[in-house]
Amino acid sequence: MQIETAIFLGAGASKAEGAPLQSEMFYEYFSSNSFKHSHDEMDRELASFFQLIFGIDVDHNHYDKSSFPTFEETLGLTDLAILRKEALKGFDIENRASKSGRLRNIAQYLMYLVAKVLDSKLEYSKNVHRTLLKGLNEGNKLKNTVFISTNYDILIDNAISEMRDKGFDLDYGVEFRNFERINDWQRPKAARSVFLFKPHGSLNWLYCPTCNSLEITPKEKGVVTRLIVKYQAATCGACGSPFMPIIVPPTFYKDLNNVFLSTIWNKSENILRKAKHIIFCGYSFPDADMHIKYLLKRVQTNRNNSLKFTVFNYHDGKKACDIESEQNRFKRFLGDNVNYYLDKSFEDFAENPMLYYK
């Protein structure tokens, strides 16, 4: 199989189906009815954190959309404190005091917050991902395309899975324990594989740190339904250890040491070196994604032929200054071989992908 094209999916691709952007996550969560009526420990701790650290009273609606720090700032704050083995007042890392490890819990709760928001918001509202795959299949390009998604949701995952009866297998590029079980997630066959690499993790992956094994919850956001809702029963069937999510937060301080993520990053680089064209959909090339930029620069320079880039990231109401700044970011880093569509969205590309493949 010859990979010719890579489709890179960012947050804007999921936004097209109804997902909030990272800048909208906190407002969406704390303004929801489920939070307002929640007595869950996670929600109480998050409320305390935002009150004590940022002075935002999320329990009494003393905020608006502009009140919250960015997601990158909030996670960067907790990640940097943990990295430096320092505490924030009222939120310790590890000691013998009551509520020891409170800061680490907050860091995990923030990622669970993302999972819960995506779970409540994300369904196929417009079928954009399905429309894209349908067009690629009709143009006989699906098997020659690799997908790379920085999103945790499973929209593109499910869309590819639904193509099984048309001769395609979803291939994440990693080994799942499910492969060992009868009538479970089947190992993809090489001749049928459509690769989807998720270098920042996925909501349907559960990791056992004791067995160092990965399980997939097909068609289900297992991080939400198991690790959050039924967390006491979310244990490894082999050793009984609690499962963990594999979700890498959108900060400068990313921990990519997990063996499965390392495999995905390595395979992404190897397969992207073979591609001739990378198409960015709903991706703004944020500063915090330095690991992605490093990956792209390696595949751009470590090859014998040129690499073409195309960007679809327009949406209604996007300011001209934001468009100009974003275009400059892409071209400044990747060079002049970037075709940045000023007025074309992910939906436009999905509606007729073969037009842009040519």
The rounded distance, in Å, linking the Cα atoms of 52 and 34 is 22
As a whole number, the mean pLDDT across the chain is 89
Q: 207-246: per-residue pLDDT in tens?
A: 999 999 999 988 766 677 677 777 767 888 889 998 888 8
Per-residue model confidence as pLDDT tens digits over 274-324: 999 999 999 999 888 899 999 999 999 999 888 999 999 999 999 999 999
Q: Which two tokens stand for residue 271?
A: 């397969």
The verdict on pTM exceeding 0.75 is yes
Q: What is the pLDDT of residues 93-141, one digit of tens each?
A: 876 666 668 998 998 888 888 888 877 765 656 799 999 999 999 999 9
Domains in the chain, ordered, with CATH? 5-19+124-200+248-357 (3.40.50.1220), 22-121 (no CATH)
How far from the centroid of its chain's Cα atoms is residue 136's Cα? 23
Tens-digit pLDDT profile for residues 178-209: 999 888 889 999 999 999 999 999 989 999 99
**Axis-axis angle for helices 290-301, 259-272 (nearest 10):** 40
Whether the Cβ atoms of residue 12 and residue 284 lie closer than 8 Å to each other = yes
